Structure 1
């Protein structure tokens, strides 16, 4: 058995369980059983639960970054790339496993007691804001647009999780269009 395979399986299983139940609700024995590894193997791969949590957050960050960027790259214009952020959210919100942002959830659950989780969540959010800033600069938008769009995306994630519907993505996209067009000085993007 490849040494990376059990580790990968443990992280994927932990991600699913933490997403469905919350981090603190999932014990090591439940994770061990669900991942199909011995407790000894679990602790060989991860010396503590916090090391598993950090591996899950790293996995989520990579998944988010790759998925978002793949969607954005499909858009033809800088304006459409900014709006593609909300298209990515719309698709994500429709997934059966969507329970809100794993970083917001992890921070809410552990941020006060785990500086490591709090810091990683902050870095993830900063990374997203920097990405939106890059897209806004490519569109020729003023610097103030990126934080506005980032906050709009963050609010959509929280709203969709609480409401249990993907409607927030559509609403956030419509608001983003107004913000983008105002920032770019576009009076009527449809030409009507």
Structure 2
């Protein structure tokens, strides 16, 4: 009953959003569904799918989260969906003006995580986030040397395909994560010296063990 009520309450915002931001021929399929408690403000959004409800924002919940938590998407730059996606309740996404956030097919972020994109963050296909994670390609504040030159430029983050990110992980600017990896809970990832098909864990994170695969 509660789920059906949530769907019904989502209809007005969902219809408005699709016809406001997508081409008419795509909007009539309602590929993007937005839960009623979401706060969304975007400048440019693109999705490659015409499938009904392929992208769901703010519906998924986890037991540990605050039930009053809201999903917030501030997209002053560009957000690109390259297939299906679900963005869990309580997730916060910020895309700075001039930046690009790209979400590959079958993107999933469970709840209460944050993505702060100031330059470029791109995800491949089959990405699975747990809760309370942070991804940021910027320090958000500038640091200068003695001559006034900035020393902490923003740097893009690139995720390969089929990556599982455990709970409470932090992914910092300049990180490149290869295909087939699992990132252990509470890890801090920075850099690009990681092996494909490996368990990445620790502070700072390292590739600890090769794996064959993992199951979605």
Q: When the two structures are superposed, what TM-score results if normalisation uses the length of structure 2?
A: 0.25
Structure whose alpha-carbon radius of gyration is higher:
1
More strand by share: 2
Ranked by relative contact order (alpha carbons within 8 Å, sequence separation 6 or more), the top structure is 1
More helix by share: 1
